[in-house]
Amino acid sequence: MSDPEPIRRIGLENVIVADTELSHIDGEKPELLYRGIDARELAEKSSYEETAYLLWNGELPTREELDGFREELTERRAVSRGVSEVVEHAPDDAVPMDVLRTAVSTSSVYDDVGETPRENAVSVLAKAPTALAAFGRAREGDETLEPRDDLDTAANFLYMLNGEEPDDRHAEILDTALLLHADHGLNASTFTGRVIASTESDIISAVTGAIGALKGPLHGGANQDVMEMLLAIDESDEDVSGYLDEMLGRGERVPGFGHRVYKEFDPRAEVLKEIAREVSETTDGPDWFGMLEEVEAYLREEKRIHEKGISPNVDLYSGTVYYSLGVPIDFFVPMFAVGRSAGWTAQVLEQYDDNRLVRPRAEYVGRNGVEYTPIDERE
């Protein structure tokens, strides 16, 4: 029997490689659903921890189930000595995504995880923010703090990073940002995690690989670029339109705009825009939100861009929100990773449930029949 004709799709664009019940993206409406529920509604009414539970279990938790889940998370928040040594001794100028990836990977070496995939998933969700906050403090020469079990994931992270309990609204805002990043279909990092899981490798390896994929500038990274752009505009003598004229003149893209799926508006950006507005109204300092509105208006009027269906994405507003909460700029992509850990782990658990090894093919376009040349005869 001859092999079936291969399907050629470089970049796997629009290729279905898995069934999922976790998240659904409709770029036309546009909407993002987690287990069938609109992410915007969850952002308004629910929490990151509830959403993680929903993604893992298919249903929102009862109060009792949520309490039990929170207890599981708080029990596993502390990292082992091995992990904390790696994090605290990392050079101050280490890239935070590298530190986070190494911390997650190291956790499986130091018996810091559980027996079952689900226990490992809890470990990732609970320990990743702890390790990241510890690095944030250690590189500033500050003493690292023990996690608090009376705070939820977002509030505990801000406490462990900034050394003081955040006010309730700030913790709520970070919680919403994490929730909005929790899952997003089969993006590159999630696919990476699923490919690793499909070999029946463990969940820590899958998340370690996913973090590596998210680190690339074509995936994570634009939220940091947006904030750096705003700081550069603020420090320059130029106004927003002058700066953008030059940027586009150099053939660069404006970070925080454009999306492969959403062509009208990214629904996550819709929620974060209102939060960015609120944060800006209640925080001293430059009017980052006003500048973002100017950037948005410029791109709307700029026909070259607008006619291509380029609109704000999730990264346009998340940066100024994190910045106002005291999160360092180079922690913005790791924050994305912390939020997405819920989706990565849920997707890996789903892959295990109905696994088939992911093994596509590459078309060989190299030479054939090349003769071996002994080393002394090579030129």
Which residues contribute to the site for ligand COA (CB under 6 A)? 218, 222, 253-260, 305, 308, 310, 313-315
Angle at 316 between CA 18 and CA 318, to 5 degrees: 80
Q: Residue 74: which residues within 8 A CB-CB, separation 6 or more?
A: 126, 147, 149
Of 92, 100, 101, 173, nearest to 132 by C-alpha is 100
306 is annotated as an active-site residue:
no
How far is it, in rounded angstroms, from Cα 318 to Cα 306?
Answer: 22
Minimum CB separation of residue 306 from ligand COA in Å reads: 10
- Is 49 or 225 the residue whose CB approaches ligand COA more closely? 225
In the block, tokens 């006010």 appear at 167
Residue 289 identity (one-letter amino acid): F
Tell the smallest beta-carbon distance from residue 192 to ligand COA (Å).
Answer: 17
Which residue number, 171 or 177, has a Cβ lying nearer to ligand COA? 177
Task: Give the length of the chain.
Answer: 379
Q: Looking at beta carbons, which residue is closest to ligand COA?
A: 258
Closer to ligand COA by Cβ: residue 13 or 284: 13
Q: How far is the CB of 72 from ligand COA (least distance, A)?
A: 31
Residues 6+ apart with CB under 8 A from 317: 256, 269, 272, 273, 275, 276, 292
Catalytic, out of 112, 225, 266, 315:
315
Compute, in degrees rounded to 10, the torsion defined by CA atoms 88, 91, 95, 97: -20
Catalytically annotated residue among 38, 219, 306, 330: 219
259 catalytic per annotation: yes
One of 170, 181, 184, 259 is an active-site residue; which one?
Answer: 259
Q: 37: exposed, middle or buried (C-beta count within 10 Å: 0-12, 13-18, 19+)?
A: middle
Structure letter (DSSP) for residue 261: S
Least Å distance, CB 245 to ligand COA, is 13
To 10 degrees, the CA torsion angle through 41, 47, 48, 50? -100
CB of 271 to ligand COA, least distance (A): 15
Tell me how far, at minimum, the Cβ of 305 lies from ligand COA, in Å: 5
Task: Map residue 374 onto helix, strand or coil.
Answer: coil
Q: Which is nearer to ligand COA, 94 or 248 (CB)?
A: 248
Q: Is 24 a catalytic residue?
A: no
Active site residues: 219, 259, 315
